[in-house]
């Protein structure tokens, strides 16, 4: 969790409502969270960073209503 929070902070993204569980028979963690940023390119930069991280198998960033 600290490494995940550090990645978010590096992109000026705040994390709220973080939860996680073991997946794939206890081999991996699956995280869910609400994230926010005031930077226009924040989520695009985060997506680029996660795509290039070999430890991240998959991710999804869904927009929330205003």
pLDDT tens for each residue of 6-65: 999 999 999 999 999 999 999 999 999 999 999 989 999 999 999 999 999 999 999 876
Q: How much is the pTM?
A: 0.82
Alpha carbons 30 and 49: distance in angstroms, whole number = 18
Alpha carbons 31 and 15: distance in angstroms, whole number = 11
Structure tokens belonging to residue 61? 């960033």
Specify the pLDDT at position 58: 93
CB 34 within 8 A of CB 8: no
């Amino acid at each position: 969790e600290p490494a995940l929070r550090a990645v978010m902070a590096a992109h000026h993204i705040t994390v709220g409502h973080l939860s996680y569980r073991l997946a794939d028979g206890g081999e991996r963690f699956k995280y869910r969270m609400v994230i926010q940023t005031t930077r226009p390119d924040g989520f695009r930069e985060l997506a680029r960073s996660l795509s290039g991280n070999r430890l991240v198998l998959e991710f999804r960033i869904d927009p929330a209503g205003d």
